[in-house]
Amino acid sequence: MSAKPDLKIVLCSPRGFCAGVVRAIDTVERALDKYGAPVYVRHEIVHNKYVVDGLKKKGAIFVEELAEIPENTSAPVVFSAHGVPKSVPADAQSRNLFSLDATCPLVTKVHREAAIHFKRGREIFLIGHSHHPEVVGTLGQLPVGAVTLIETAEDAKTITPKDPNNLAFVTQTTLSIDDTAEIVALLKERFPNINGPHKEDICYATTNRQLAVKKVAPVVDALIVVGAPNSSNSQRLREVAEREGCPIAVLAQRAADLDWKRFENITSLGITAGASAPEVIVEEIMDAFAERFTLHVETVSAAEENEFFPLPRQVRPEAAAE
């Protein structure tokens, strides 16, 4: 039997779950432990099929709208990490549903910024991708027409505000750092008095994962991003790898998704994972490569992460008895 070819694996660090995703998943699991099944979840709690399927097995029921939840249920209803329009908690309250808000605190920060700008009478631009649940949630914080979506640099070049001197912008938390910087630069050039966030809205996890890919992508033959097609931060990681010159950059949900012909002649492989992708799938993919190659693994780190977000009060562990 011929020896397996050598393959250098370069793991990007940080990768995988961020503090907001951990908080959202823990919220559902704690609700199941505390209140029992079912626990309803509006929208995928995070954009990852493996995670969602695992929670379904434990008794979570995923719905797209509250109308799908039976009347007079006492089961908890969890709002996903992406955030929801204001109409959703209002609807839950009108139906006497017991709701738990698992919105990432960094998304809530953007909601608050938008509300402050609105209160100050500013016209607001939201840099983001239409139809993404986070964007839908942010748009839904304010009256229709209060926020205008900017998706591309072209939008930034052509948008015509009512008052160029009374503007503000916020951004989706999971965008490409470079694309967003280009759009923000265009807006600031056109509207020098535009108000931006005190601290940028793109979250620490998105930024750190992209920085790690920027380090690894130029020095490997291929790079795999573990993540879902509907995960914005995972798609951005793949785009960053392509932009940095990596010849093969693919997004994969599981090892079974890989087209092995594309990896036949590589000698080095980068692996990262989007903020909603569990480490167990990174290990599954490495195991699949280990069947075909002799692996030599190293890690390249771009940042240390130690963020922690407390759970919603209703599902926090009870304080230890004194």
- The reply to whether 232 sits in an annotated binding site is yes
Structural domains of the chain sorted by starting position, each given as residue range(s) with its CATH number in brackets: 6-17+204-301 (3.40.1010.20), 19-104 (3.40.50.11270), 106-190 (3.40.1010.20)
- The reply to whether 103 sits in an annotated binding site is no
**What is residue 2's predicted lDDT score, i.e. its pLDDT?**
66
- The reply to whether 129 sits in an annotated binding site is no
Chain mean pLDDT for the chain: 96
**What is residue 322's predicted lDDT score, i.e. its pLDDT?**
36
Supply 202's token pair.
């793109």
pLDDT bucket at 200, cuts 50 / 70 / 90: confident
**What is residue 306's predicted lDDT score, i.e. its pLDDT?**
93
The mean per-residue pLDDT over the stretch 5-31 comes to: 97
**What is residue 198's predicted lDDT score, i.e. its pLDDT?**
83
Count the neighbouring beta carbons within 10 Å of the beta carbon of residue 241.
Answer: 29
Q: Which residues, 6 or more positions from 157, have their beta carbon under 8 angstroms from its beta carbon?
A: 186, 190
**What is residue 321's predicted lDDT score, i.e. its pLDDT?**
36
Asked if 76 and 100 count as a contact pair (C-beta separation under 8 A), the reply is yes
User: Would strands 39-42 and 60-63 be described as parallel, antiparallel, or unpaired?
Assistant: parallel
Which residues have a catalytic role annotated? 134
- The reply to whether 111 sits in an annotated binding site is no
Nearest to 209 by CA among 305, 80, 298: 305
Count the neighbouring beta carbons within 10 Å of the beta carbon of residue 260.
Answer: 9
Residue 1 pLDDT > 60, yes or no?
no
Instruction: Give me the amino acid identity at 243.
Output: R
Residue 181 pLDDT > 80, yes or no?
yes
Q: What is the pLDDT of residues 118-151, one digit of tens each?
A: 999 999 999 999 999 999 999 999 999 999 999 9
Q: What is the pLDDT of residues 37-81, one digit of tens each?
A: 999 999 999 999 999 999 999 999 999 999 999 999 999 999 999
- The reply to whether 130 sits in an annotated binding site is no
Rounded Cα distance between 182 and 28, Å, is 37
User: Would strands 76-79 and 98-101 be described as parallel, antiparallel, or unpaired?
Assistant: parallel
Q: What is the pLDDT of residues 272-306, one digit of tens each?
A: 999 999 999 999 999 999 999 999 999 999 999 99
- The reply to whether 82 sits in an annotated binding site is yes
Angle in degrees, 0-180, between the axes of helices 19-35 and 49-58, rounded to the nearest 10: 10
- The reply to whether 104 sits in an annotated binding site is yes
- The reply to whether 208 sits in an annotated binding site is no
Asked if 23 and 108 count as a contact pair (C-beta separation under 8 A), the reply is no
Residue 309 pLDDT > 60, yes or no?
yes
The mean per-residue pLDDT over the stretch 227-234 comes to: 95
Residue 318 pLDDT > 80, yes or no?
no
**What is residue 199's predicted lDDT score, i.e. its pLDDT?**
84
Q: Which residue shows structure tokens 């608050």? A: 112
- The reply to whether 276 sits in an annotated binding site is yes
